[in-house]
Amino acid sequence: MAPKYELIYFNARGRAEGVRYIFALTGQDYTDSRYTNEEWQKIKNDIPSKQVPALKVDNQYIPQSNAIIRYLGKKFNLIGKTDMDAAIIDSAMGCADDIASGFIAMKFGGLNEEQTKAKAEKMKTEIVPKMLEYFEHALSADGFLTSTKALTIGELSTSLTIEWVQLFLPDFDLSKYPKTVKMLKNVVENPKIAAWIKKRPVTEH
């Protein structure tokens, strides 16, 4: 029997959406628990990591978004076929995490207006281009990370980071990165992901 899955997070895409994408793609049932800040303060001490996202699998908690994604990726066979596939996926997820951490520092790191502007400029001119150049190197011309030409946890995670680029740096020119744009399209136009995007709660980020 499949375990019972509960994803615990806020009412946001944030660091949880990659997990939701996996459940959407695989059609696996789960409980999508979304807490307000106020509710979170009340339950925080019951979650061993005191951080979300956390995935409750039956009675066991897994914290850390990328640990959850890798766990589900292995379970649902979304990590390519070879050890090298898995390593390339891990590299892409690492790059995606570097971009995500930069945006989180920029948006929620308590920076003043001037510091936020400076951080945005650094993201736009240094951090994001460096990562996107790696994606262009790693992706096939049709936008896949592995020769399986199927979506893996690498494309799912990375596509969400590209959406953060669109959200937080709206004038960033993505057209210079055509494989990355294809990869994003492969994910959001996948019928199961597209159906989830259409029905998911509308949130700011």
Asked whether position 36 contacts ligand GSH by CB under 6 A, the answer is no
Q: Number of C-alpha atoms within 13 angstroms, CB side, residue 121?
A: 6
**Contact stretch for ligand GSH (CB under 6 A) within 44-52, 80-88, 128-136, 168-176:** 44-52
User: How many Å apart are CA 12 and CA 112, to the nearest integer?
Assistant: 24
For position 15 contacting ligand GSH by CB under 6 A, the verdict is yes
Q: Is 186 in the site for ligand GSH (CB under 6 A)?
A: no
Nearest in space to 156 (alpha carbons), one of 8, 19, 6? 19
Binding part of the chain for ligand GSH, among 24-32, 64-72, 77-85, 180-188 by CB under 6 A, reads: 64-72
**Contact positions with ligand GSH (CB under 6 A) in 104-143:** none
Q: With respect to ligand GSH, which residue has the nearer C-beta, 64 or 148?
A: 64
Applying CB under 6 A, which of residues 31, 42, 43, 51 lies at the interface with ligand GSH? 51
Alpha-carbon span 128 to 133, nearest angstrom: 9
CA distances (Å), 143 to each of 22, 92, 107, 116, 165, in order?
Answer: 18, 13, 29, 32, 18
Q: Among residues 55 and 139, whose Cβ is nearest to ligand GSH?
A: 55
73 near ligand GSH, judged by CB under 6 A: no
- In DSSP terms, 5 is beta-bridged to 57
Tokens of 42: 């009340």
Q: Which of 5, 8, 13, 14 binds ligand GSH (CB under 6 A)?
A: 14
List the one residue from 11, 64, 91, 116 that touches ligand GSH (CB under 6 A): 64
65 binds ligand GSH (CB under 6 A): yes
- Helix residue ranges, H only, the chain: 17-26, 37-43, 65-75, 83-108, 113-122, 128-138, 153-168, 178-188, 191-199
Q: How far apart are CA 15 and CA 178, in angstroms?
A: 25
Select the residue interacting with ligand GSH from 53, 73, 102, 143 (CB under 6 A). Answer: 53
Q: Where are the alpha helices (DSSP H) in 44-82?
A: 65-75
Nearer to ligand GSH, 54 or 193 (CB): 54
Q: Which residues contact ligand GSH by CB under 6 A?
A: 14-15, 44, 51-53, 64-66
